[in-house]
């Protein structure tokens, strides 16, 4: 399992100290989690974009493709894990700052797919 508990990297957080401040994790735990994400190909270590001596953790294409999964989980959590009066985070469009449209599963021809009509028959082989 990949220990990706926070979408900070999708929101531009790149440095160890920024992750630590945002997540509030102990250094040893954060180090282990970042190393695991690098080993899994979700992030890579790169020289700091500002030319300083620091290193940054940058999402790979594989990591960037987690966005729909994280948005879907956040939307599901907003629907089922909070009382109506509790504040919750909302995923916003980076360009206009407006909430993202709800994610939907659609068939190849564009029809909204309900879970009761979905089947695992004919699944593609793992890549």
User: What is the predicted pLDDT for the residue at 49?
Assistant: 87
User: What is the predicted pLDDT for the residue at 1?
Assistant: 47
pLDDT along the chain (127 residues), means of 10: 57 85 90 94 93 92 91 90 88 86 91 69 60
User: What is the predicted pLDDT for the residue at 2?
Assistant: 52
Task: Show the DSSP H helices in the chain as ranges.
Answer: 16-23, 27-39, 61-64, 67-80
- Specify the DSSP class assigned to residue 42: S
- Whole-angstrom Cα distance, residue 56 to residue 114? 41
Cα–chain center distance at 106:
21
Read off the pTM: 0.70
């Amino acid at each position: 399992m990949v220990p990706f508990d926070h979408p900070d990297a999708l929101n531009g957080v790149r440095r160890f100290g920024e992750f630590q401040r945002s997540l509030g994790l102990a250094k040893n735990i954060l180090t282990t989690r970042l190393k695991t994400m690098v080993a899994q190909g979700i992030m890579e270590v790169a020289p700091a974009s500002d030319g300083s001596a620091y290193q940054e953790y940058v999402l790979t294409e594989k990591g960037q493709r987690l966005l729909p999964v994280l948005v879907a989980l956040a939307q599901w959590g907003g629907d089922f894990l909070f009382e109506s009066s509790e504040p919750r985070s909302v995923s916003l469009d980076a360009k206009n700052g407006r909430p993202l449209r709800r994610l939907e599963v659609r068939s190849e021809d564009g029809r909204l797919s309900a879970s009761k009509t979905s089947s695992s028959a004919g699944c593609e082989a793992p890549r």
